[in-house]
Structure 1
Amino acid sequence: MVTKVQVKGMQEFDEFYKGIDPKGPPVLFYFTGAKLPTGKSWCSDCNDAEPIVEAYLTEVKKSLIFVYVDVGDRETFKKTDCPFRTDSRTRIMVIPTIIRWKGVQRLEGEQCCKRELLQMLLEDEEE
């Protein structure tokens, strides 16, 4: 069963990150652009990936936490000093990006639209 969590901005990300139970289910962070009033992100790649990611999550049978992280508006994210770009835990250069907590695995940009890569990332067991 997938537990979905939404956080907005670096402060909420940091608060959630500090509270992760290392003995709990795997945690994946999904970094996307802020939603516009239309309900779509300003990031076209995020809009392309979202239905594929959502569809795949409905098929996941194991327990995991999937955290949607809103990186802000386009202007905020594009700044070189954006905290999501500079923080050693994230180092996000493109969105969407999915990162497995406590791992090196990540999917970036168009990779998030590839079902087989999502499957490998979500089903990979790190022990």
Structure 2
Amino acid sequence: MLQFIQRYSVDTVSLSLLSLDINGFEEFTKYTETIDSKGPPVLFYFSGSKLPDGRSWCPDCVEAEPIIKAFLNELKKNVIFVYVDVGGREYWKDKACPFRTDNRTKLMVIPTIIKWNGVQRLEGSQCAKRELLQMMFEDDE
């Protein structure tokens, strides 16, 4: 059975942010099959797995995460934000990693934020730039 961990849930008036945690490519694939095309926008944040200290092995992910969290805490939009753990460093660095080869993701770097069924994406250090996050979330308006 597939389980998703709810990280944040903010509900203010009719606007809400739902944030989920997904581990690995199989869970990612299963979750994408449940997305309602008429529902709120879905954004995926791909990051390296967490070490025992709670920080990712990926330095760029460590840099971006607090900026993304702060931005999400202030967001007043109806959106689903999904954190996707792409795995450990060796798995991610493998050229055959499905997150790299799958046509839906085609990841080249992490962190990466992708708007599902859209062309918008932020890659690497772009994910740590608040103004780029703002532009990505305003694009629906």
Question: Which digits, 9 at most, give the CA deviation of each residue in 1:30-62, with x for residues without a partner?
Answer: 000000001000000000000000000011111
In structure 1, the residue matched to 2:62 is 47
Matches within 5 A, 1:110-125: 110-125=125-140
Matched, 1:67 2:82: yes
Instruction: Structure 2: give runs of 5+ residues left out of the alignment.
Output: 1-15
> Which SS does the other structure have where 2:122 is aligned?
strand
> Which SS does the other structure have where 2:131 is aligned?
helix
Question: Which digits, 9 at most, give the CA deviation of each residue in 1:54-84, with x for residues without a partner?
Answer: 0000111111000000000000000000000
Normalized per residue, the structure richer in helix is 1
Superposed CA RMSD in Å reads: 0.8
Q: What's the TM-score, normalizing by structure 1? A: 0.98
Matched, 1:84 2:84: no
Q: What's the TM-score, normalizing by structure 2? A: 0.88
Percent identical: 63
Following superposition, which runs of at least 4 residues in structure 1 exceed 3 angstroms of deviation?
Answer: none
Deviation at 1:122, TM superposition (A): 1.2
Deviation at 1:91, TM superposition (A): 0.5
Q: Which amino acid aligns with 1:6?
A: D
Matches within 5 A, 1:29-40: 29-40=44-55
The structure whose RCO (Cα within 8 Å, separation 6+) is larger is: 1
Separation in 1, partners of 2:113, 2:23: 15
Question: Which digits, 9 at most, give the CA deviation of each residue in 1:16-41, with x for residues without a partner?
Answer: 00000000000000000000001000
Deviation at 1:2, TM superposition (A): 1.0
Separation in 2, partners of 1:21, 1:6: 18
In structure 1, the residue matched to 2:29 is 14
> Which SS does the other structure have where 1:7 is aligned?
strand
In structure 2, the residue matched to 1:104 is 119
